[in-house]
A = this chain, B = another copy of it.
Amino acid sequence: MSLVIMKFGGSSLEDDGKMKLVARKIIAKKNTYDNVVVVVSAPGDTTDNLLKMADKITSSPPGREMDMLLATGEMVSASLLAMALGSMCEKVVAMTGPQAGILANSNYTCAKIKKVNPKKIKIQLAKRNIVIVAGFQALNPRGDITTLGRGGSDLTAVALAAALKANFCEIYSDVEGVYTTDPRVVKNAKKIDYISYDEMLEMAGSGARVLQSRSVEVAKKFNIEIHSRSTFSENQGTIITSEEKIRRKKMEALLISGITFDENQVKFTIVDLPDVPGVAAKIFSRLAKIGINVDMIIQSAAVGKKNDISFTVSKRDIKKTQMELDKTAAELKDVVIVCDEHVAKVSIIGIGMKSNAGVAAQMFEILHKKGINIEMISTSEIKISCIVDELDMEKAVKELHKGFGLSKE
């Protein structure tokens, strides 16, 4: 029996007209595959509106009640979409996340899926019903509703695809797929036809907002092919799949698949840090303890007995980081803390890098030629990131996009 998971984002469900369009797409799919399970996000701005309502009541809402509130958005989509399909004479059943057997832990507002028990879904599929599942929500061991964090409906879709052994998982949104870079910055950015899980993870972690990272991790783990595509066109979108499958499809992998950027970065530098073992480790473990995610780190070579150490954090952590570093500065004499808010991160991503040593050099050369100064560098197997002045970011993205041959002809 063939089975497809279709997931629709909020912008595909924001009014009755779009709901009906989505319903017709589901019916078309059901005509080709034996079974279809649909996962829905909350319609349009519903989640934001619920957050605003809560914010008017209190600035520190309890997580448990927040999740009970937020879960209503997806219940609304799921029930309305089931009504739309019913009105088109389809057999259909809507389920909440808990009813669908999505079981998670009790980390309210950002719970992790622990298990999927798709018994109820299977019973309905056996009756030839289309099943609509409210995304983003799960049941915790206490019998309460928990939610899976921003983009959690993607995760619901992929987790169901794994549990139900789906042929593939389609993620519908208002964009055509994954692009070589943001088309708002580079007009001739191209849609990527195939991208590997690892590349997609690096893209998602470096600023591209098409798919939730955890959903890609789960897809990789269970080898679920994801098809990211638009609700509003019939065009092929982007297939996210294994590296092996891509290599089989393409004669040769592209050197670079995509360029990402992130303006949401701040660079801290600790000047004249004593070159004593354990000092740097202490600073970073303290930051980790208060929940600050440090992204890139460089340490200058020791001159005499002093070091400079620079690292980047997300802009929203700027105050907490500053306070923590001020404590450190008070403990260690003659240490100076410098904060630079005007930086951005530009990254190139591609599995082709693995077998091609010259990529980093090529990147630096492209930036250098245009007079763009690189402040920090970090590399992984399939990604190279540079911190540049935020004023240079757009130029850097455009030049790299052109220089690595990603632009449309």
Contacts and interface: CB of A to CB of B under 8 A. Distances in A.
Interface in A268-327: none
A13 to B, nearest CB: 11
Interface string A85-116: 01100000110100100000000000000000
B68 A84 contact: no
A72 to B, nearest CB: 4
B53 A68 contact: no
Interface stretch (A75-83, A212-220, A249-257, A359-367): A75-83
A99 B58 contact: no
Contacts of A58: 83-84, 86-87
A54 interface: yes
Nearest to A84: B57
Contacts of A193: none
A245 B120 CA distance: 51
A69 B60 contact: no
A381 interface: no
Contact of A65 (B20, B72, B94): B94
Given A20-B57, A57-B16, A72-B75, A83 B65 contact: yes
A69 B75 contact: yes
A220 B322 CA distance: 65
Contact of A86 (B50, B62, B76, B144): B62
A339 interface: no
Contacts of A405: none
A371 interface: no
B94 A53 contact: no
Given A65-B94, A80-B53, A60 B87 contact: yes
Contact of A96 (B66, B68, B86): B68
A58 B87 CA distance: 6
Chain A contact patch, size range: 35 or more
A19 interface: yes
Contacts of A56: 16
Interface in A119-174: 120, 143-145
A51 to B, nearest CB: 11
Given A56-B16, A57-B16, A79 B94 contact: no
Contacts of A145: 96
Given A57-B83, A61-B83, A62-B82, A76 B94 contact: no
Interface string A16-39: 100110000000000000000000
Interface of A: 16, 19-20, 50, 53-54, 56-62, 64-66, 68-69, 71-72, 75-76, 78-80, 82-84, 86-87, 93-94, 96, 99, 120, 143-145
Given A65-B80, A69-B75, 16 more contacts: A57-B83, A57-B84, A58-B84, A58-B87, A60-B87, A61-B87, A62-B83, A64-B94, A65-B78, A65-B83, A68-B78, A69-B79, A69-B83, A71-B75, A99-B144, A120-B143
11 contacts: A16-B56, A53-B76, A65-B80, A65-B82, A65-B83, A68-B75, A68-B96, A69-B83, A71-B75, A96-B145, A99-B143
